[in-house]
Structure formats: structure tokens, C-alpha cells
A and B are shown apart, each in its own frame.
Chain A
Amino acid sequence: MDTLIPLFVAIPLISAFLIVILGKLVKGFHRFFAPLILLALLVMAVIEFSSLGKSSIHYTLGGWSTEGGYPVGIYMVLDGFSVLMLCIINLIGFIALFYSLSYIRKYTAESNYYALFCLIIAGMNGVVLSGDLFNLFVFLEVSVISSYALVAFGVGKTELEASFKYQVLGGLASMLILLAIGLIYWKTKTLNIADVRNVLDAGYSKPYYIFIQVLLISGFGLKAAIIPFHAWLPDAHSSAPSPISAMLSGVLIKAVGIYVLIRLFFNMFVFTHEIAVVFTTLGAISMVIGAFLAFMQWDVKRLLAYSSISQIGYVVMAFGMSMILLVRGDNYTAAALAIAGGVYHMVNHAVFKGLLFLNAGALEYRLDTRDLKKMGGLSSAMPVTSSTSFMASMSISGIPPFNGFFSKLIIIIAAINGKFYLLATLAVVISFITLAYFLKFQRYAFFNKPLQKSIEKIREVPFSMSFSMVVLAILCLALSLLAFPSINDAILRPAIHVLMQSDIYSTTIMGL
């Protein structure tokens, strides 16, 4: 099915332009066209997922493949890890778009919103599929530039300020990434990720590549908002329209941040102990500090944004631990377990953080405020929002039958198996703090005595919004099935396989 691969980028890209052009001529064109496109992409992603298994396929643009053993064309690669990311991106994208059908009516220039939404999807699909460093950079810019515009979509004072801050830091990150790509090309004379790996396998000068790796960690760390680089995230994610916050927090920071870091460090560079330790430390720091910062917030969406930093910390820490274990090379089962926990938590976080931002959007839609102190007693007025947000909160804080419990449990077990006792303790403690601030959110928003007199007038949100929230809440429960070994094998194993056998990516693509 390798002919389907370029369509993941082409379809949303073309439909973005169609929406802008035809949206002016046909009334309401964008309202049914954009969800249809996203649904088609989701179906395609699921088809690819079910047919792929552990194999990996690639598509060469324009049929330019290898010339004398060197790849000259642009490669798009689909393997176990990227197909999983594709499924998440298009799933959350479809649900957020369906939610926007009601939510975005209060803004003007609706068709521009849908066009930008398609562009952000095209960019992220491109980043995940690209097998070439420079194209990865181009797609990354496509998705982040449209996200700058979407953050400022409300054109209020705070939205514009947040977008400016986001752009300056995002621009800085893009430059660091471009510099690193240039430096890689200087030494290896190739941009293909698989080919770079083969060049590095033949031997390389360590200090030069450590410098490149530091540049890449700071660049993609800024995109992923790992803690010393997090300053833009709470502003940008809380100012954007809520479905966009769900996209940014749920998918964008993973697709352009974590995914690329993991792909480059596992499948392109050869592991070094120093970088593995840096990864683990950054992850642990963002996990701890993010949770404490979230605890102090009274703005719903800022609380959720800081909590994203903390949960991304869990994912980075899990991957960092597995890198340390793989460098040591003595405990492969614990390393595989840590990778499994990281991938699983990444999937889960996309689902429950997406849901929580949609809940926050529903509150803002009915109450016109994001301040927790001005809410209260909404559980009877908005039963769907209240029950779904309760499920998401329990899930993110790791309460048993929900998915968050199992992924955190796997990470903690991996940490204990790998003898990282301090990290395991921290993960447990932070899980309790997460529970504390989500109970605060639940109590002040839904269970306190009503503060507003007009509480009787508040009704449940419209169908498209409540439907999206219910779908995600069901997914929160359904994903906990992944904890069963047989289901886990079918769904997460291909991704773990690609990351554990770090040479497999380059050898299959280069046809060795």
C-alpha cells in the first residue's frame, strides 16, 4: 500500500486551498468538506495500521530511488512507530474538527480556520512520514506557522501576545534545528536519515556530533516544551481556541517534538551515555516542576497546559531510561518495557489531554470565563461535560480502570526493573500531585456550591461538542485494554520493535 503514503500529505494540503477558494463561492462548503477529509485520512491511517504489522514500507517521490548505492530522492517512510503517530494525529484531528463545528461559530472567517486546520494536519503528517531531514524541517515549519496563526485566531490582546511570544521562541527553535541539519550535511554529505545512520556506523568524531545533538535537543525541546524551554507553552495553549489547544497539547508537541527527537536519537544517531542521561534528567525535571506549576493555577486552560509539560516529562523520562539501559546493554527487557510505557503514555496523553481541553472549551463556551473561582456547581447543569471531564481527570491522574493508570504503572515498573529507584519514587509522588490538582479542578468547576446566580440558565453544550467529548471518554476506557499482553502485542509491539532494533530502520530503507 505504498501508494497511499503521499496522500496523507497531499489530501489535506490540497483541501486547505480548496476550502479557501470554494468556501467563498459555496456557502457552508467548509463545514462538511473539512470533517469529511479528516475522516477519510483517519480511515486511511487505520487501513495502513492494520496492514503494516512489523514491516516497513517507503515511497520515493518521483521515483528517484538510489543512484550508485546513495539515495538521491525524497523518501517517505511508514513503519510501526510512524503509523501509530499517524493514527493519533488524524483521530484527534477529526474529533477536534467535529467539535469545532459548533464551537467556532462565534468567530468570524470560519473558512480560514478550517483551511489552517487542514494545513496543520498536512504538516504533522509530513513530519511523521518524512525520511529526510530537510523535508522534515519544511513540514515542521508548515505545521508550526499554521499553529502560530491559529493561536492568534481570536485576535484579542492575550491571543496576539501569546502568538508573538510563541513565534519568537518557535523561530529560535527552527533556526537551531536548521543549523544542526546544516552541520549534519557538512560532515555526512547526505540528508537521508537512514543514510546518515549508515555513515555514522562507519565511524565518526564524537565531540562534533555531541554539539549537533545538543542543538537538536534544544531545538526540538523548545517545540516539545521540555522544562527549561517551556515558557511559551502555557500562554500559547491557553490562548488558542479550545479545539486548537486540544490539537496543540494533544498532538503537535508530540508529533513535531517528541516523535522527531525519538526518531533521530534512536534511529539516526548512535546512542551515547551522556545524551541518554541528559534526556532522563530533562524528563524528570519537567515532570516534577510542571506538576508544581500546574498546582498553582486558577485558569483552567493554564492548569491543563502546565499539566501537559508534566505528562510530557513522563514520556521523555521513559525514553531516556530506555536509552541508558540500551547503552549499558545488560537489561533489554527493562528497556523494552520503558519504551512500551513511553509509547503507551504518549497515546494516552493525546486522548485524555485532548478531552480535557475540549471540556475546558465547553465550560468557556457556556460561561465565558476560564477562572476556576468563578465556576461551581455545574455538574447538574452540564452532565455530559462533567462526567467526561471526571473520566479524563481520573485517567490522567492514574486511577485504575482508566488508561493513564496502566501506562504510568508500566513506566514505574520499568524504572524499578532498571534500578532507577529515585525516578520511580518521583513518578509515584508526581502522580499523587496530579491527582490533587485535578481534584481541585473537579471540585471548583463542578461540585462546589454555585457562585453564579444564573446557573439555572446554563444548558449542556450542542451535539457536535458533546458527541466528540463522549467519543474521547470512551476511548479513555477502551485504551486501558492495551494493558493486556495480547492486545498490547498487536498494537504497540511494531513501534517498540522499530525503536529497540535501532538499526532496522536504516537497513530496510537502504535495502541492505
Chain B
Amino acid sequence: MTVYILCFVLFLVGLYGVITRRNLIKIAIALSIMEFSIFLMLVLIGYIDGGLAPIVDPDLAGQIYVDPLPQAMVLTAIVIGLATTSMLMAIAIRLYRKYKTFDIREIKNLRG
């Protein structure tokens, strides 16, 4: 149970960062932290104490294997996370070129 609570704490750390940070890059980092806390939780869902990697060996009858599906899901989700992070970084760099700053308090053309 402790590991899940730690995952949740990591999630909250990320959320705190997204809400309070003023720097575009730090917001992106905080989003990544949130993302990885969820990936950790997904992997933990499939984990079984004493389980082996899920390559079924007919010689070892009665052996416990971990659930491979969450692992496959996390791999896919990491790739998606890479795409979103690089997209976010590309936009942040373009914003820096326009405004010469990463501070969100100075980037506010849109409101209302």
C-alpha cells in the first residue's frame, strides 16, 4: 500500500509544480513528473510478489509470472509522453524567441 501512496505523493508534487511554477520549462518538467507517477502506478498494478518476467517456461510448473499487459501499456504511454513533451518544448522555445523570456507573467496576450 505504501508504494501506491508514494505514487500519489509524486503525482501531487507534479500537480503543485504545474499550478505554482512561473517558468514554462518548469511547468513542462512538472507535467512529466505527473506523467511518470501514473506510469509507476500502472506498472505496480501488474506486479506480483515473487513473479518472474512473463516468458512462460514449460519446465517451471506452478511458477508465478507478473502481468505483462500494464507493462505494454506503459511502454506505449511513454512513447506518447515523449511526443507530448517534445511538442511542449518546441512551443516553449518558439515562445522564448518571441518574448525573450520563459516567465508566464510576461506572456499574457490572451485573456477573458
Kindly specify which of A104-112, A155-163, A222-230, A350-358 makes contact with the partner chain: A155-163
**Contact yes or no, B99 A157, CB < 8 A:** yes
Kindly specify which of A42-50, A77-85, A173-181 makes contact with the partner chain: A173-181
**Contact yes or no, B87 A161, CB < 8 A:** no
**Contact yes or no, A185 B110, CB < 8 A:** no
The interface on chain B, measured as residues whose beta carbon lies within 8 A of the other chain's beta carbons, has a size of: 31
A-chain residues with CB within 8 Å of residue B83 when the two chains form the complex: 141, 145
Considering the chains assembled together, what is the distance between the CA atoms of A296 and B24 in angstroms?
30
Nearest-neighbor residue (CB-CB) of A168 within chain B:
B27
Considering the chains assembled together, what is the distance between the CA atoms of A162 and B94 in angstroms?
12
- Given A160-B98, A164-B24, A186-B45, are A178 and B87 neighbors across the interface (CB < 8 Å)? no
A-chain residues with CB within 8 Å of residue B107 when the two chains form the complex: 161
**What 0/1 readout, one digit per residue, does chain B (67-80) give for beta carbons within 8 Å of chain A?**
00110010011001
Nearest-neighbor residue (CB-CB) of A152 within chain B:
B91
Secondary structure of the B side of the interface? helix
- Given A157-B109, A171-B31, A174-B84, are A164 and B95 neighbors across the interface (CB < 8 Å)? yes
In the complex, chain A residues 138-196 whose Cβ is within 8 Å of any chain B Cβ: 138, 141, 145, 148-149, 152, 155-158, 160-165, 167-168, 171-172, 174-175, 178-179, 182, 185-186, 191
A-chain residues with CB within 8 Å of residue B70 when the two chains form the complex: 182, 185
B66 at the interface (CB under 8 A from A): no
**Contact yes or no, B76 A138, CB < 8 A:** yes
CB distance from B82 to the nearest CB of A (A): 11
Nearest-neighbor residue (CB-CB) of B110 within chain A:
A235
**Contact yes or no, A164 B92, CB < 8 A:** yes
**What 0/1 readout, one digit per residue, does chain B (25-41) give for beta carbons within 8 Å of chain A?**
00100010011001001
**Contact yes or no, A168 B31, CB < 8 A:** yes
**Contact yes or no, B34 A160, CB < 8 A:** no
A134 at the interface (CB under 8 A from B): yes
Considering the chains assembled together, what is the distance between the CA atoms of A174 and B88 in angstroms?
14
In the complex, chain A residues 324-370 whose Cβ is within 8 Å of any chain B Cβ: none
Nearest-neighbor residue (CB-CB) of A179 within chain B:
B38
**Contact yes or no, B109 A167, CB < 8 A:** no
B42 at the interface (CB under 8 A from A): yes
Nearest-neighbor residue (CB-CB) of A135 within chain B:
B76
CB distance from A107 to the nearest CB of B (A): 15
**Contact yes or no, B38 A162, CB < 8 A:** no
B-chain residues with CB within 8 Å of residue A297 when the two chains form the complex: 112
**Contact yes or no, A134 B95, CB < 8 A:** no
Nearest-neighbor residue (CB-CB) of B24 within chain A:
A164
Considering the chains assembled together, what is the distance between the CA atoms of A179 and B27 in angstroms?
20
Nearest-neighbor residue (CB-CB) of B83 within chain A:
A145
**Contact yes or no, A185 B35, CB < 8 A:** no
Considering the chains assembled together, what is the distance between the CA atoms of A182 and B27 in angstroms?
24
In the complex, chain B residues 80-112 whose Cβ is within 8 Å of any chain A Cβ: 80, 83-84, 87-88, 91-92, 94-95, 98-99, 107-110, 112
**Contact yes or no, B88 A164, CB < 8 A:** yes
B-chain residues with CB within 8 Å of residue A234 when the two chains form the complex: 112
- Given A162-B110, A179-B41, A182-B42, are A171 and B84 neighbors across the interface (CB < 8 Å)? yes
Pick from B24, B31, B80, B87: contact of A138, CB under 8 Å? B80
A-chain residues with CB within 8 Å of residue B92 when the two chains form the complex: 164
CB distance from A44 to the nearest CB of B (A): 27
Centre residue among B18, B35, B41, B110 by max chain A CB count within 10 A: B110
Pick from B35, B73, B110, B112: contact of A158, CB under 8 Å? B110
B-chain residues with CB within 8 Å of residue A163 when the two chains form the complex: 91
Centre residue among B91, B98, B107 by max chain A CB count within 10 A: B91
Nearest-neighbor residue (CB-CB) of B73 within chain A:
A134
B positions within 8 Å CB-CB of A: 18, 24, 27, 31, 34-35, 38, 41-42, 45, 69-70, 73, 76-77, 80, 83-84, 87-88, 91-92, 94-95, 98-99, 107-110, 112
A sample of 19 cross-chain residue pairs with beta-carbon separation below 8 angstroms, ordered by A number, consists of A134-B73, A152-B94, A157-B109, A158-B109, A164-B24, A164-B91, A167-B87, A171-B84, A171-B88, A172-B34, A174-B80, A174-B84, A178-B38, A179-B38, A179-B41, A182-B73, A185-B73, A191-B69, A296-B112
A positions within 8 Å CB-CB of B: 134, 137-138, 141, 145, 148-149, 152, 155-158, 160-165, 167-168, 171-172, 174-175, 178-179, 182, 185-186, 191, 234-235, 239, 296-297, 302
Listed from nearest, the 3 A-B pairs whose CB atoms lie closest are A235-B110, A141-B80, A182-B42
**Given contacts A160-B91, A182-B73, A185-B45, could you give 20 more A-B pairs where the C-beta distance is less than 8 Å?**
A138-B80, A141-B83, A141-B84, A145-B80, A145-B84, A149-B87, A156-B98, A161-B110, A164-B95, A167-B84, A167-B88, A168-B27, A172-B31, A175-B35, A175-B38, A182-B38, A182-B42, A191-B69, A234-B112, A302-B112
